[in-house]
Structure 1
């Protein structure tokens, strides 16, 4: 029996399981136990980014925005249409991309674009003049999906052979930047600005920096996308500087708030450590170029993608999805993570990165080790997600330890003022 009322969370949990199987397959292929599987790397990345992340955001963002604004909840019929459209379209992508069926893949990408536009329309339509302290996160919630629409357009241009000033590789880079640093990065930043005070029982330590942080992230992401697409490297460089500055301000604000709350939990650790893995590629690539005078090798690019997916995206998902499902069921996030998972999900990306700087024989072993460590850390939260999806929250089998409060009471915590 299904225990969730949100169909997007159901699909996110199922794709989280399938993605874990894909990572296991990658470990077996790397160890030469399984033969090469066509499109496996693409599947592994997009099972997480579209199958899990996009589902979670589509499922939660309209409701969160409506609640912050005191507006009506989204029409259930719109939710059903969006869910059906995005999942049908994603199945088309899963079938067509490994098989090289670009026209069918373009149809699938278009379906996801329409579903995202419907969700964004629901968020914007419910928008009233928000209170001052709510504008920054709402700004990020709206800007993030806009970048996702741009990222999908970049994917369509690659599938259909549209030309661009930056050429094919410029489009690929712009596509990745729009989806990862634009869509996911902005929505996650808004979510953390809203949730970390509730998790720690403290207002944001530097609340006046939030508006500046949000604009730095948005403008920086625009440079990260437009620079490669237009083949204007100074624009890309400015985008990197602005985005990294905004990210640094975000990390400092969150870390100071967590420290003030004195409630250091595994899921909070996932959040901060995840951001370290997000900025690692922006540090290593220029450093490698300065030290060697050469562009990063394919091995470094592969490690950067693997580390970004496992170190940043996966840790953000694992820190948020189980709690979101628990809150939906009974208003309490309950178990707040595992220190074992924190260790494994950071040692794994470290091994994947190390594989880029050693000999070929050692690199294979380190890559397999990295995947095994990631899977080990993945297992506890994955099992919890599946249990919460398919178990009645009132049953004795799902009575976990209540480590996290559902949120601060109005009398305990002064609400932060986030500015304009």
Structure 2
């Protein structure tokens, strides 16, 4: 069985799609006053983060690292064992959470750990044998993998109940932020320093800003995790300030790169720019939540829906939107390379696939982003009204509808890309 990096990306998107459907069900249940069992939320989160995000980043690392280190020659292109480990781990974790069996969750988590340990070992081996110095992107990937392994280790410890009950909440916060901020965010930021310039066909605006970003984001993450584990709110606030500084430098670098390219209107760059905005907004929101906790009771009451809206700033506004932007650019290229061997004949087919991706661009971009904003607006209404008030219900349905439309448009595009074969004369 040939399992190349595009299959990791597509399977990861399928996991995200299934998790999204479950998320809509959770959201509707909460809004109508009939919430689903709490373990379903854990299924939703881990399906998205392990089966979806982690798998797609794994596929991206498999594709990008050999190219960046120029070690791709004579390397295997198929990775069935890694594919089995990441998907077996995701299925097992989802089943374990659904059944309320922490032992199954822990055993399945070990499969995911093994997959990424293998990737880390392989990456280090490539770096040692490469004739080129590892670029900055790979340092982002390295720190991201270390953060993921630390986050997974905390998850294993919680599943096996190795933490005292009094420390469980602190360990959970550290686990979440190691995986979301330490792994997903650092991997995406490292990728964007290379991918956005490739999409726009211009160099990155400033390598110096990229190095400062690399200095600030991991430092802020480490400080934040220390604050969580020590239960020190002021350390968390200091960490938040460092993280905001890093995201602002990153955002400025991304925007200036886009401006230098002449402000092109492409669906991939649209999603990347807006995802960057939501990343900065998420960092600022996290600092505000921490500062709000200085008061006892909290100066601004924070409820369940507020936390849902905040976390989905990162999950939908930043991570999912970056994934969609990356697939919009990479999937046509990967399909062309796989299906058409002649370099001379790839141009027309790539143009046709790119045309499919660019269709309905304004509607796709607007619905995904306005759906995220509408979720924030819904959470804001809850400060004044109860969940059962018609205004809140209407805002919630509008948010769910907009997000569903955006995801449906992109999902149909993916299906069309997979079905659109090259002309007979261009095929292998």
Quickly name the TM-score band, shorter chain normalised. Answer: 0.7 to 0.9
Deviation at 1:368, TM superposition (A): 2.7
Shift of 1:57: 1.4
Are 2:385 and 1:357 aligned?
no
After TM superposition, list the pairs within 5 Å mapping 1:83-102 onto structure 2.
83-102=83-102
1:38, distance to aligned residue in structure 2 (A):
5.3
C-alpha change, 1:299 and 1:26, in structure 2 (3 Å) is closer
Q: Return 5+ residue gaps in structure 1 as ranges.
A: 397-420
Root-mean-square deviation over aligned CA pairs: 3.0
1:382 maps to 411
CA-CA distance at 1:228 after TM superposition: 0.5
Partner of 1:412: none
Q: Which residue of 2 aligns with 1:267?
A: 268
Secondary structure of 1:126's counterpart equals helix
Deviations 1:329-384 (A, max 9, x none): 21557235722121111111112112222212233332232121111111121122
Deviation, structure 1 residue 110: 1.3
- Quote the Cα distance in structure 1 between the aligned partners of 2:17 and 2:412: 9
Quote the residue 1:399 is aligned against: none
Query: Could you tell me how far 1:3 is from its partner in structure 2?
Result: 11
Task: For 1:251-400, list aligned pairs within 5 A.
Answer: 251-262=251-262, 263-284=264-285, 286-287=287-288, 289=292, 293=299, 296-331=302-337, 332=350, 334=354, 335-336=357-358, 338-358=361-381, 359-360=385-386, 361=389, 362-388=391-417, 390-391=418-419, 393-394=421-422
The answer (yes or no) to whether the contact 2:19–2:48 under 8 Å persists in 1 is: yes
CA deviation profile, 1:91-121 (whole Å, cap 9, x unmatched)? 1111110221111111111111111111111
Which residue does 1:137 correspond to in 2? 137
Q: Residues 121 and 3 (structure 1 numbering): CA distance in 2 closer, same or farther, change over 3 Å?
A: closer
Match of 1:152 in 2: 152
Distance 1:285 1:60, change over 3 A: closer
Cα shift at 1:164: 6.6
Alignment of 1:24-173 (within 5 A): 24-26=24-26, 28-30=28-30, 32=32, 36=36, 39-72=39-72, 76=76, 79-128=79-128, 131=132, 135-163=135-163, 167-173=167-173
Does 2:228 match 1:228? yes
Greater mean alpha carbon deviation, residues 8-17 or residues 212-221: 8-17
Task: Please say which of residues 273-282 and 173-182 is displaced more in the overlay.
Answer: 273-282
3-state SS of paired residue (2:135):
helix
Q: Residue 3 of structure 2 contacts residue 83 of structure 2 at CA under 8 Å; is this kept in 1?
A: no
Task: Quote the Cα distance in structure 2 between the aligned partners of 1:130 and 1:148.
Answer: 28
- Displacement of 1:138: 1.1
Find the aligned partners of 2:164 and 2:132 in 1 and give their Cα distance.
41
CA distance in 1, matches of 2:39, 2:113: 22
Which structure is richer in relative contact order (CA contacts within 8 A, separation 6 or more)?
1
Q: Contact 1:203/1:257 (CA < 8 Å) preserved in 2?
A: yes
Partners of 1:91 and 1:356 lie apart in 2 by: 32
**CA separation of 1:275 and 1:197: change in aligned 2, threshold 3 A:** closer
Instruction: Give the direction of change, closer, same or farther, for the CA distance of 1:147–1:285 in structure 2 (3 Å limit).
Output: closer
Query: Structure 1 residues 78 and 261, CA, compared in 2 at 3 Å: closer, same or farther?
Result: closer
Cα shift at 1:75: 5.3
CA, structure 1 residues 224+213, in 2 after alignment: closer, same or farther (shift >3 Å)? same
SS at match of 2:127: coil
Greater mean deviation of Cα atoms: 22-31 or 342-351:
22-31
The two structures have a TM-score, normalised by structure 1, of 0.84
Structure 1 residues 187 and 286: CA distance shift in structure 2, 3 A: closer
1:222-270 deviations in Å (ceiling 9; x for gaps) = 2222321232334323322222111111110110110110213232121
Distance 1:381 1:256, change over 3 A: same
For residues 39 and 339 of structure 1, do their structure 2 counterparts lie closer, same or farther at Cα, with a shift above 3 Å needed?
Answer: farther
Stretches of structure 2 lacking an aligned partner (at least 5 in a row) = 338-349
